[in-house]
Amino acid sequence: MSVRINKRKIINDPVYGFINIPNDFIYDIIECPWFQRLRNIRQLGLTGLVYPGANHTRFQHALGALHLMSLALDTLKGKGVRISVEEEEAACLAILLHDIGHGPFSHALEKTIIEGVDHEDISLFLINRLNEVYGDKLALAIDILFGRYNRMFLHELISSQMDMDRLDYLRRDSFFTGVIEGLVSSDRIIRMLNVADDSLAVDEKGIYSIEKFLFARRLMYWQVYMHKAVVSAESMLVRLLNRARELAIDGKDVFATPALGFFLDTGLRKIDFAEDNPAAGLIAERFTSLDDSDILVSAKYWAGHGDKVLSNLAGRLVNRNLFAIELANAPFDEEKIAVLRKMVERDMGIDEAEARYFVYSGAVSNLPYSPEFHEIKILLKNGKADVISSVSDIFNHKFLSEKIIKYFLCYPKEYRQ
């Protein structure tokens, strides 16, 4: 149910039922255009091509993470952890804004138009600007979000192996894809949260729920995030955007929506998002005017472009005629790749450099549980805390923490043997 119109601050969410907006300032932030634009940025980019239900947006995810943060703070307070009203509001704002720097189809964009710029850099850049507008009312949220505040558990609720961000996206992605095996019991996990030595910890009796969470994450990686067709589609989008840039830089006439056109030839680099960039205001405005619709409209139009590479790639993507993809545990044979490229050169009448847009290999990796990064702590019944890798019998075997690299090879499916 809407907020603005009804003057009540409850939002219907198919995942949790209802989400309460804790207070007016948080509500104002939700209403601001930079946040509202997240309504038009799908959380899972092109994954909808494989799982048709996966059209949920970063807007929904941010609200869901806010909801879990409220529950987590309530739980911790209920266990006697002292949290001030200011800390509570700041933690809520921090989780709400943690993804504000995402552009459309982030995975692809970060490899092309905004190459080398992490969405977290952009989040910091945008939140700093919001902070100016709102008279420094976001200062504590920024400190918590970027790990500069001394009560580390607040940061860990936003960014750690077991944070509200992951908890929401795993559950939400599972819900909307229909891959119910990925279902995470966020309610149960949150009730097990505690604080030990200023760090986030999990009560010992929650250990099975944590193992289940890590297991569900691994499953979602292979079943959804690294699904072959998704990897194929995203790699095609990367090449499509690079081709468009190449042509634009080369002075060719390449239509783009106004928002995309601004960046297409020049792109954006990390330095553009520096605080002291005199054009920072303009960059912020332009970046936040981009959303999924700019990419979709441009790609549709490119399908009729004179450049064979651009039109072919765009046409395939728009009509979901995705490249065939092979996965392997070792890099692909260069010779095999060369042979495929030769065939494409010959059949399409293009040169070797252009054929690289149609036949290419690469690598994807799961993001395993990383013992180096804010490892999950278990608060034992004896009052001591220990890391989960020492406590759980699953971790004796480390299978959840091994990084797995898969190599892929893509090519038009006409060449599938």
CB 219 within 8 A of CB 182: yes
Q: How far is the CB of 258 from its own copies (least distance, A)?
A: 5
CB of 405 to its own copies, least distance (A): 13
Stretch that binds its own copies, among 80-88, 126-134, 171-179, 262-270 (CB under 8 A): 171-179
Task: Show the site string, 239-258: x = touches its own copies by CB under 8 A, - = not.
Answer: ----------------x-xx
Which CB atom, from 300 or from 308, has the smaller least distance to its own copies? 300
Helix (H, G, I), strand (E, B) or coil at 410: strand
Which phi and psi (to 5°) does residue 10 adopt?
-125, 135
Closest to 211 measured CA to CA, from 384, 88, 394, 77:
394
Q: Which is nearer to its own copies, 57 or 312 (CB)?
A: 57
**In which residue are the tokens 């949220």 written?**
141
Identity of the residue, 154 or 233, whose beta carbon is nearer to its own copies in the bound complex: 233
Q: CA dihedral defined by 185, 405, 120, 173, rounded to 10 degrees?
A: -30
- Nearest approach, Cβ of residue 230 and its own copies (Å): 8
User: Closest distance between its own copies and the C-beta of residue 162, in Å?
Assistant: 15
The window from 80-88, 117-125, 176-184, 276-284 that contacts its own copies (CB under 8 A) reads 176-184
Q: CB 136: neighbour CB atoms within 10 A?
A: 10
Say how many residues touch its own copies, by CB under 8 A: 82
* Pairing mode, strands 385-387 and 377-379: antiparallel
Look up residue 223 and give its DSSP letter. Answer: I
CB of 146 to its own copies, least distance (A): 27
Q: Which is nearer to its own copies, 150 or 319 (CB)?
A: 319
Closer residue to its own copies, CB minimum distance, 60 or 70: 60
Report the site for its own copies in 190-209 (rule: CB under 8 A): 191, 205, 208-209
Q: In this complex, which beta carbon is closest to its own copies, that of residue 177 or of residue 242?
A: 177
Tokens describing residue 365: 């990796």
Distance set, CA 74 to CA 38, 64, 147, 379 (Å)? 27, 16, 21, 18
Check binding of 23 to its own copies (CB under 8 A). no
Of the chain, the end-to-end C-alpha distance in Å amounts to 52
What is the pairing mode between strands 324-328 and 199-203?
A: unpaired
Residues 25-54 that bind its own copies (CB under 8 A): 31, 33, 36, 39-40, 42, 48-53
Smallest gap from residue 37 Cβ to its own copies (A): 8
Q: Which of 361, 371, 363, 16 is nearest to 161 (CA)?
A: 371
Q: 357 to 416, contacts with its own copies by CB under 8 A? A: 393-394, 396-399, 404
Shortest distance, CB of residue 331 to its own copies, whole angstroms? 20
- Give 15's strand partners: none
Could you say which residues in the range 261-300 bind its own copies, by CB under 8 A? 289, 291-294, 296-297, 300
Instruction: State the Cα–Cα distance between residues 87 and 225, nearest whole angstrom.
Output: 34
Strand 199-203 to 377-379 pairing: parallel
Strand order in the sheet with 199-203: 193-196, 199-203, 377-379, 385-387
* 259 binding its own copies? (CB under 8 A): yes
Report how far residue 21's alpha carbon sits from residue 69's, in angstroms, rounded to the nearest whole number: 11
Q: Which of 148, 222, 249, 367 binds its own copies (CB under 8 A)?
A: 222
Closer by beta carbon to its own copies, 315 or else 362: 315
Select 149 or 225, whichever has its Cβ closest to its own copies: 225
Binders in 301-360 for its own copies, by CB under 8 A: 301, 318-320, 322, 324-325
CA 97 to each of CA 20, 36, 63, 91, 246: distance values in angstroms, whole numbers, following the listed order? 16, 12, 10, 10, 33
The residue (of 36 and 390) whose beta carbon lies closer to its own copies is 36
